[in-house]
Amino acid sequence: MNTVLITGCSSGFGLDTARLFLARGWHVVATMRHPDPALFQDAQNVTLLTMDVTDEKSVARVFESVGPLDALVNNAGIGWLNAIEGTPLPLVRRILETNLVGIIATMQAVMPQFRAKGAGVIVNVTSTVTLGALPLLSVYTASKAAVNALTESFALEAEPLGVRARLVLPGLSPETQFAANAHKLSEGGFAFPESYKVFGEGIMAQLTGGHDLVTTGQDVAEAVWRAVTDPSAPMRLYAGADAVALAEQVSRGAAS
C-alpha cells in the first residue's frame, strides 16, 4: 500500500485531498497542528499526527516516526489580505515561515529517504494569485510565488535522483478558510487603511463567492492525485475552472 503524508489536513483542500487518497486505497498520514479524530471517522488506513511546519523539532519527530513514504503533499499555509502598510513585520515573517520555510523543512526531511530509494513525489500547493497581481495580496502572493520558483528549481535537481516535484495551483474557493483565518490573524477583523477599503471589499467578495467560476476542494484533490500518480503530469497543474481560465488567459497574453 502506498503512503502519502499531507500537511494542513484540518480543513479545506488538505482535508479533501486526504479523503480522496483514502478512498482510492492509499495510507494517509494526515498532519495538522491540532488533530481532530472526528475529521476521519470510520476511515481506515489513516494516521493523524500533530505537526507544526514552522517548528523544526515537530517536523523531525513526524518524519522519524512515519516510516517509508511514497509522496509528500505540502498543503499547509496561511492566508493574509491587507496592504503592505497594514501588515506588521512579525506577521510577514510568520506568513513566510509557514508558507515557504515550512515547505522547505518538510522537503529536507523527506529527501534522504526518497534519494536513498531513488523514488518519491513532492507536490506543493500554491495559488493562481501568482499568475497576475491583485491588490492587498502582496505578502501572500510573494510567499506562494517563492514556492513556485523553489519547486521548479528543486525539480531539476531531484529528477536525476528519481524524485518528481510538481505544483498544484488552485483558483479562488469559497470552500476554504482563507478569509476566516485571515480574520484570526488580524485579531478579529481586517484593519484596512481607509484608502484601501474599496480593494478589500472586492477581494473579499471573490473569496466568499458571488462569481461563476470557482475552485472546489474536489478540483484540488484531483489535481494533487494526478500530480502524485501520473509521471507525465505537467510541472504546473491548475485546479478549478477559474484557475484553468486564468492560466489560459495568461498564456494567450504571453503569446501575443
Catalytic residue among 144, 184, 196, 238: 144
196 is catalytic: no
- Domain limits, the chain: 3-77+91-173+215-255
Catalytic residue among 140, 184, 196, 238: 140
Residues 22-63 pLDDT 10s: 999 999 999 999 999 999 988 899 999 999 999 999 999 999
| The pLDDT of residue 206 | 63
User: 256 pLDDT band (50/70/90 cuts)?
Assistant: low
What's the CA gap between 231 and 195, in Å, rounded?
48
Q: Is 56 exposed, middle or buried (0-12, 13-18, 19+ CB in 10 A)?
A: middle
Cβ atoms 140, 98 nearer than 8 A = no
What's the CA gap between 243 and 256, in Å, rounded?
20
| The pLDDT of residue 80 | 87
Max Cα distance, the chain (Å):
55
Q: Does the domain at residues 3-77+91-173+215-255 carry the CATH identifier 3.40.50.170?
A: no
Nearest alpha carbon to residue 80 among 183, 175, 208: 183
- State the SS3 of 109-169: HHHHHHHHHCCEEEEEECCHHHHCCCCCCHHHHHHHHHHHHHHHHHHHHHHHHCEEEEEEE
Tell me the three cell numbers of residue 251. 498564456
238 is catalytic: no
User: 195 pLDDT band (50/70/90 cuts)?
Assistant: confident
To the question of pTM greater than 0.85 for the whole model, the response is yes
